[in-house]
Structure formats: structure tokens, C-alpha cells
């Protein structure tokens, strides 16, 4: 039934897309992306206002109205025209096929960040019908990441039960809509343009997030992390404008607003995109000599783009301030600076004023990484930047359309500037925010850089595809782009074994997840909902705690430790381990008992017990901890006796 309900969501998207194509005269292949951005904004706003579920019903009611309009005799012509656009038809065929495939394949979350936030947030929203900021969950912090992608997953499982594959499919449908908008100008039957455009988009995540010969399973297209959708939405915000010969900016404004609600760094990228599009609008009005009024209107539209970014970005800040205790002004980190202070300090050091050794080391390392370290299948990030500029240059050189030449030039110049600014901004976070063990090794450098490059390269491809409309000489850009895409496809095929992807991989990669899922169900079966559960898994670095927090929700898994030092770890008597042991909880038996009583944890789930735990705390358990030798166990508090009593073993040991 989950498949049918998700197909219903896809049908709603189709209805919105047909309405956008008919009433807003948007190019049909660009309509699904615009519609999804509108959905993300609608549900994000509704979530912030506390009316997520009613807003969802309103959305599907509106979809029914749009569907009725599309099927009515007056709307059928527009619907037929939309379906005749190969990119539009291809999008819905591929999206439906993807939903069917995921319903059969049942991909699951596999990475730490999916359990520490993205996946858990999706589950919270579905199960509670509200955003996650004030969720009843054992996090010791406020979930302050932005909601657009989380509510996107909610849209695709508004009806029916929660399922991870439905969240993952929602993300992929967004990506497919972005690839489809690259085909916006392709006439009917022009598969020589549509197939390379879709293929180029599909290959981008492989090209920019992997490197070398891949020998481990990759979770591309089966991940709830935000980096890839963020980067591609950044590119799509520009591409949706380039794909529209009328060069309207409102679809881009929708995309930029959605981008600002996907992740904090989306705001920086949105400003770059707004700058590029705004400059293009103003320069276009001046170059085409449409008069001062037109130039003023273009300037106003450019300002409107920035306003959209600001309103969207700040809306979440205000919501957090009103709804939670999160400090939204401080970027945190080692320097405890505000955002503006960080940028100003960084600019001063860049100019040599009070430059620190750390600044020099970090920036120097980043530049070396940019040019000398292989971080993509194409080589260093500099190669990707070069390919982007080359595509834009090709679009400018091989088109007869003057407006496109100007657009490509503005894109290349300002895009490079934007890249430099983004690169500098990431460097500042390494200098002022991250701990030294992270900044010394530039840990995560690739992950912070590739979103910008993904979007930038996608937008360059949109320019190249647009150039095919009026290319000179005829056939050159179409053939060149097809050959380029074929070459990139061959590169991916040679470096990434098909059986390591979510499309060709086996179920074995989810074996452990299925085991922990089954174990969590057994715990839920014996613990009444609403009770707090204390978690023990000796040797845990936090990953088991995050995993079970997710699996058990909406059952409440306690933070299981003191503020800032819980969420997994090793419990032992003081002195049993060196004090600086990571994730060591040095409790006496009395302290542990007091914590359990204060936190209201009437149940304890011991996934992994060891000698240290037995030596320290066996006295708190009736009969000691002998039952833990049989495997994971659940204990319940007998307050009168002042001990925890054995309930059952779980996970096959029962």
C-alpha cells in the first residue's frame, strides 16, 4: 500500500505540474521542479505555524482541483502539450519506475547523520505530524536543521505508514525533477538532447562525490543526507531561469527560497545564485536597451530574489527563537563567534591584519586540496571548476542567441567569484568553528565543497543545453554534449561497479539494519509506549545510541548520560578507565541509580554488557546481570525493591 500512496503523491505532483505549465506558462519539463519547491515551502511554513497535517490535506485537495482542471475539456490541450514534451513525460515515467523499484528494493538509511538527524527527523515528522524542533526524543539538543528536505519526504508519505524507502524516493524524485528541467527546450522526439541531458544530471553525484576505483557500497540515490539535493537545488535555481526563454525569475525565487530552507549553507549558495541571476537581469535590460523603466524593473526583481532568500532564511531563525531555546545567532564552535564577526575577522586576516598561523595553514591546505588532491572522479575540484567554465564558454561561443552569450558570460565570471567566496567561507569555518582535530586535517573538505560544484556544473550544463536551440554550426553543441556525457558515463561505469550501487546491490548491506530493527520491535513489544528507556551498549561511540533512538521512536530512548556526555558510551566505576577515555561515563552505582530515578527511566535496554558494567552495577539488578550473558536484555524498575528486574532477552536470544 505504501507504493500506492506514494504514487498518489506523484499524481498530485503531476496535477500541480500541469497547472503550472498551463496557467503560469512554465516550460513543462521545468514544472515538476517548481511544483516541488512550492510543496517544500508550503509544508515548511505550515510546520513552523504548527498546522502541518491540515496543510497537507489542503495540498492534496488543491492537487485534486488541479487534476480536475487538467482533465476537463478546456485543460486537455495544455495537458497533451505538456505530455508531448519528452522531458516532462520522461520525468514521470522515471519517477514512477523509481517508486516501484524502491518499493521492491526497500533501501534503508545506513549512515550516522541519517540517524543523528535527517532520517530521525523524517520519522518524527511523519509519526507526530509536527516538526522535530520540540519533539519528544532523547536528544540533548534542539534539532535546528532546516526542514525543506524533511517535509519533502513527508509529502511522499503523507498517506500510509512511515517507510524509509518513501523518504529516500522523495529525495530522488526531487533530483529527477532537476535533471528533467535540463531538457526544457528539447522539442518533441529530440532524444539526442533529452537522453544526454538526463544522463549528465544523473551522473553528477557519482562524478563529484566519489574518486578512485570504488570498492565499497555507495549510498548515492539512497541517502537522506542533504548535501547532494542542496547542491543540485542551487544549480537548478539558475537552470530553471536559463531554461525559460522568457527569463522569468519567479521560478528561481521559489527555488532559492526552498534552498534557504534545506540547510544553513543553502543561504550562502542562494545569495550567489541570486547575484548571478540578478546581475543577468539588470545587464540584460541595459544591453537590450529596453529603457530605464525596464532596467528599474529588473533591479527590483533582482532585489526581490535577495528578499526571498532573506525572508526564507530568517523565517527559520525566528521560528527557532520562538519555538525553542536554540541560540540562532552564534555559529558556535571553538571561537564562539557570530556569523558577521567571523566573516569580518576572516577578511581582516586575509588582508594580512592579525593573520594567525592557523589561518595560513588552513587556507594553504585548502588551496593545495583544490588543485592537487583527487577528490572527484574527474580529479581535483579545480578540474570540475574548469569543466564548468568550459561548458559556459562553449554555450557562449556556439550560440547565435545574444542573450544566452551574455547569460553564459555573467554565469562564468560571477560563478567563479561566488566559488571563491564560498571557498573562503568554508575556510573560515575551519579556522573559527571546527575543533583542531577537524581543521588540521581539513576533515570533510570534500563534503563541504562538492555541493557548490554540483550545482554550478549543473547550471553550466543548462546553458549548454539552451545553446542547442540556436547553435552554430548546427549539430555541434548537441553532438559535443552527447559525446561528453557518453565519456563521463564510461568513466563512471569503469570506476563504480554496478553491484556497489543501490540499483544493483544486494540486501546484505541492510542485514545489520534489519537485525537492529527487529530487535527494537521486540523491545517496543515489552515496554509500554510513553515510558523512558535507558540505553546501555558498552563500547558504543554514539552510533548505536543514535541508531536505537531512531529505531525505537516514538518510544523514548533516554540520552543515557549527563548533559553533553550521553548518547552512548561506556559506563564504569570511576577509575576503572583512564579519565580521558572517549565516551566514558564514570558513575558510581549510587550515581547511576540517582540518574535513572531523576530521568524517569523505568526501563533499561542493555544491548551490550561487559565486565566493567557487571562489576560496577550488578547490585542495581535483581539476580545480577546473568541474563545479559544470553544476549541483549530488557529490565524494568521495581521501585519498592529498589532494583531493576529482568523482563526478557531480545534479538534471537529470547
Q: Distance of CA 151 to CAs 107, 308, 496, 520, Å?
A: 19, 19, 31, 25
Cβ 473 to other proteins shortest distance, Å: 9
Q: How far is C-alpha 2 from the chain's CA centre? A: 22
Is residue 651 at the binding interface for other proteins, with CB under 8 A as the rule?
no
Q: Binder to other proteins among 351, 353, 511, 582 (CB under 8 A)?
A: 511
Show the binding pattern over residues 580-619: x = contacts other proteins (CB under 8 A), - = does not: ----------------------------------------
- Give which of 388, 344, 13, 356 is closest to 174, Cα–Cα: 13
Cβ 214 to other proteins shortest distance, Å: 9
Distance CA 535, CA 404 (A): 60
Is residue 345 at the binding interface for other proteins, with CB under 8 A as the rule?
no
**Cell numbers for 480:** 559535443
Rounded to 5°, angle at Cα 316 from 427 and 256: 70
Cβ 481 to other proteins shortest distance, Å: 10
Q: Distance of CA 328 to CAs 285, 310, 338, 345, 548, Å?
A: 39, 15, 9, 20, 28
Whether residue 244 contacts residue 469, with contact meaning beta carbons closer than 8 Å, is answered with: no
Of residues 213 and 581, the one with the C-beta less far from other proteins = 213
Show the binding pattern over residues 32-71: x = contacts other proteins (CB under 8 A), - = does not: ----------------------------------------
Cα-based torsion angle of the residue sequence 50, 51, 52, 55 in order, rounded to the nearest 10 degrees: -150
Where do we find the cell 525566528? 318
All residues at 6 or more sequence positions from 395 whose CB lies less than 8 Å from its CB, including other chains: 404, 405, 408, 460, 463, 464, 466, 467, 477
Of residues 280 and 607, the one with the C-beta less far from other proteins = 607
Cβ 631 to other proteins shortest distance, Å: 12
Is residue 508 at the binding interface for other proteins, with CB under 8 A as the rule?
yes
Of residues 192 and 406, the one with the C-beta less far from other proteins = 192
**Cell numbers for 5:** 500512496
Is residue 194 at the binding interface for other proteins, with CB under 8 A as the rule?
yes
**Count of CB atoms situated within 10 Å of the CB of 294:** 16
Of residues 511 and 641, the one with the C-beta less far from other proteins = 511
Is residue 497 at the binding interface for other proteins, with CB under 8 A as the rule?
yes
Cβ 113 to other proteins shortest distance, Å: 24
Is residue 196 at the binding interface for other proteins, with CB under 8 A as the rule?
yes
Is residue 516 at the binding interface for other proteins, with CB under 8 A as the rule?
no
Q: How far is C-alpha 602 from the chain's CA centre? A: 36
Of residues 499 and 615, the one with the C-beta less far from other proteins = 499
Whether residue 622 contacts residue 641, with contact meaning beta carbons closer than 8 Å, is answered with: yes
Whether residue 146 contacts residue 264, with contact meaning beta carbons closer than 8 Å, is answered with: yes
What is the secondary structure of 327-373 as a DSSP string?
-SSB--TTTT-BHHHHHHHHHHHHTTTT--HHHHHHHHHHHHHHHHS
Cβ 487 to other proteins shortest distance, Å: 13
All residues at 6 or more sequence positions from 524 whose CB lies less than 8 Å from its CB, including other chains: 552, 555
Binding residue count for other proteins, defined by CB under 8 A: 26
**Cell numbers for 206:** 557519482
Show the binding pattern over residues 75-94: x = contacts other proteins (CB under 8 A), - = does not: -----------x--------
- Give which of 302, 246, 320, 240 is closest to 35, Cα–Cα: 240
Of residues 497 and 554, the one with the C-beta less far from other proteins = 497
Whether residue 260 contacts residue 45, with contact meaning beta carbons closer than 8 Å, is answered with: no
Is residue 195 at the binding interface for other proteins, with CB under 8 A as the rule?
yes
Q: Binder to other proteins among 291, 332, 504, 652 (CB under 8 A)?
A: 504
Part of the chain binding other proteins (CB under 8 A), chosen from 329-337, 397-405, 493-501, 628-636: 493-501
Q: Binder to other proteins among 329, 356, 499, 588 (CB under 8 A)?
A: 499
Distance CA 578, CA 508 (A): 38
Is residue 526 at the binding interface for other proteins, with CB under 8 A as the rule?
no
Cβ 394 to other proteins shortest distance, Å: 17
Cβ 482 to other proteins shortest distance, Å: 6
Residues 367-396 touching other proteins, rule: CB under 8 A, are none
Q: Binder to other proteins among 74, 80, 215, 575 (CB under 8 A)?
A: 215
Is residue 478 at the binding interface for other proteins, with CB under 8 A as the rule?
yes
**HSE toward the beta carbon, residue 95, CA cutoff 13 A:** 30
Is residue 95 at the binding interface for other proteins, with CB under 8 A as the rule?
no
Q: Binder to other proteins among 71, 300, 340, 474 (CB under 8 A)?
A: 474
Q: Which residues bind other proteins (CB under 8 A)?
A: 86, 189-192, 194-196, 215, 474-475, 478-479, 482, 497-500, 503-504, 506-508, 510-511, 514
Amino acid at each position: 500500500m505504501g507504493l500506492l500512496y506514494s504514487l498518489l503523491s506523484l499524481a498530485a505532483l503531476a496535477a500541480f505540474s500541469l497547472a503550472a505549465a498551463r496557467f503560469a506558462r512554465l516550460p513543462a519539463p521545468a514544472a515538476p521542479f517548481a511544483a516541488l519547491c512550492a510543496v517544500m515551502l508550503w509544508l515548511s511554513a505550515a510546520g513552523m505555524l504548527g498546522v502541518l497535517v491540515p496543510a497537507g490535506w489542503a495540498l492534496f485537495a488543491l492537487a485534486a482541483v488541479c487534476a480536475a482542471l487538467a482533465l476537463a475539456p478546456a485543460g486537455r490541450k495544455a495537458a497533451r502539450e505538456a505530455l508531448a514534451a519528452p522531458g516532462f513525460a520522461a520525468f514521470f515515467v522515471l519517477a514512477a519506475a523509481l517508486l516501484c523499484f524502491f518499493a521492491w528494493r526497500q533501501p534503508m538509511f545506513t549512515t550516522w547523520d541519517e540517524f543523528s538527524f535527517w532520517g530521525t527527523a523524517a520519522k518524527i515528522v511523519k509519526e507526530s505530524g509536527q516538526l522535530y524542533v520540540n519533539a519528544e526524543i532523547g536528544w540533548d539538543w534542539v534539532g535546528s536543521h532546516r526542514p525543506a528536505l524533511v517535509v519533502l519526504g513527508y509529502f511522499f508519505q503523507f498517506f500510509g505508514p512511515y517507510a524509509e524507502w518513501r523518504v529516500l524516493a522523495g529525495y530522488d524524485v526531487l533530483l529527477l525533477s532537476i535533471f528533467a528541467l535540463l531538457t526544457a527546450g528539447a522539442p518533441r522526439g529530440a532524444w539526442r538532447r533529452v537522453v544526454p541531458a538526463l544522463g549528465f544530471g544523473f551522473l553528477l553525484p557519482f562524478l563529484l562525490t566519489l574518486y578512485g576505483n570504488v570498492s565499497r557500497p555507495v549510498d548515492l540515490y539512497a541517502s537522506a543526507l542533504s548535501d547532494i539535493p542542496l547542491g543540485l537545488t542551487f544549480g537548478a535555481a539558475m537552470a530553471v531561469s536559463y531554461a525559460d526563454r522568457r527569463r522569468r525569475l519567479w521560478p528561481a525565487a521559489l527555488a532559492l527560497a526552498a534552498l534557504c530552507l534545506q540547510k544553513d549553507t543553502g543561504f550562502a549558495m542562494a545569495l550567489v545564485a541570486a547575484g548571478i541571476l540578478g546581475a543577468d537581469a539588470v545587464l540584460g535590460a541595459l544591453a537590450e536597451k529596453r529603457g530605464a523603466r525596464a532596467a528599474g524593473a529588473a533591479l527590483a526583481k533582482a532585489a526581490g530574489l535577495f528578499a526571498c532568500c532573506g525572508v526564507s532564511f530568517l523565517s527559520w531563525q525566528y521560528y527557532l527563537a520562538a519555538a525553542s531555546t536554540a541560540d540562532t545567532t552564534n555559529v558556535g564552535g571553538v571561537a564562539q563567534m557570530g556569523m558577521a564577526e567571523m566573516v569580518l575577522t576572516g577578511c581582516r586576516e586575509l588582508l594580512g591584519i592579525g593573520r594567525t598561523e592557523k589561518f595560513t595553514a588552513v587556507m594553504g591546505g585548502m588551496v593545495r586540496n583544490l588543485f592537487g588532491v583527487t577528490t572527484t572522479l574527474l580529479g581535483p575540484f579545480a578540474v570540475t571548476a574548469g569543466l564548468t567554465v568550459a561548458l559556459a564558454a562553449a554555450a557562449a561561443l556556439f550560440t547565435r542567441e545574444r542573450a544566452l552569450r551574455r547569460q553564459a558570460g555573467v554565469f562564468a565570471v560571477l560563478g567563479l567569484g561566488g566559488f571563491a567566496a564560498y571557498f573562503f567561507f568554508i575556510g573560515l569555518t575551519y579556522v573559527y568553528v571546527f575543533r583542531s582535530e577537524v581543521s588540521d586535517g581539513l576533515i570533510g573538505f570534500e563534503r563541504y565543497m562538492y555541493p557548490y560544484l554540483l550545482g554550478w556544473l549543473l547550471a553550466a550544463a543548462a546553458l549548454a543545453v539552451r545553446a542547442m536551440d540556436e547553435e552554430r554550426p548546427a549539430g555541434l553543441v548537441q553532438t559535443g554534449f552527447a559525446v561528453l556525457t557518453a565519456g563521463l558515463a564510461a568513466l563512471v561505469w569503469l570506476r563504480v561497479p554496478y553491484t556497489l550501487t543501490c540499483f544493483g546491490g544486494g540486501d546484505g548491506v541492510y542485514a545489520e539494519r534489519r537485525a537492529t530493527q527487529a530487535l527494537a520491535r521486540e523491545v517496543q513489544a515489552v515496554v509500554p509506549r510513553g515510558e523512558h528507556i535507558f540505553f546501555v551498549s558498552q563500547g558504543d561511540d554514539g552510533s548505536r545510541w543514535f541508531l536505537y533512538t531512531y529505531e525505537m521512536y516514538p518510544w523514548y530512548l533516554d540520552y543515557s548520560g549527563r548533559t553533553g556526555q550521553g548518547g552512548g558510551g561506556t559506563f564504569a566505576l570511576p577509575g576503572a578507565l583512564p579519565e580521558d577515555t572517549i565516551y566514558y561515563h564514570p558513575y558510581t552505582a549510587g550515581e547511576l541509580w540517582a540518574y535513572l530515578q531523576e530521568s524517569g527511566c523505568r526501563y533499561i535496554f542493555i544491548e551490550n554488557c561487559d565486565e566493567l558494567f557487571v562489576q560496577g552495577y550488578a547490585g542495581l539488578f535483581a539476580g545480577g546481570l546473568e541474563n545479559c550473558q544470553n544476549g541483549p536484555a530488557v529490565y524494568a524498575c521495581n521501585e519498592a525493591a529498589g532494583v531493576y528486574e529482568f523482563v526478557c532477552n531480545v534479538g534471537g536470544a529470547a
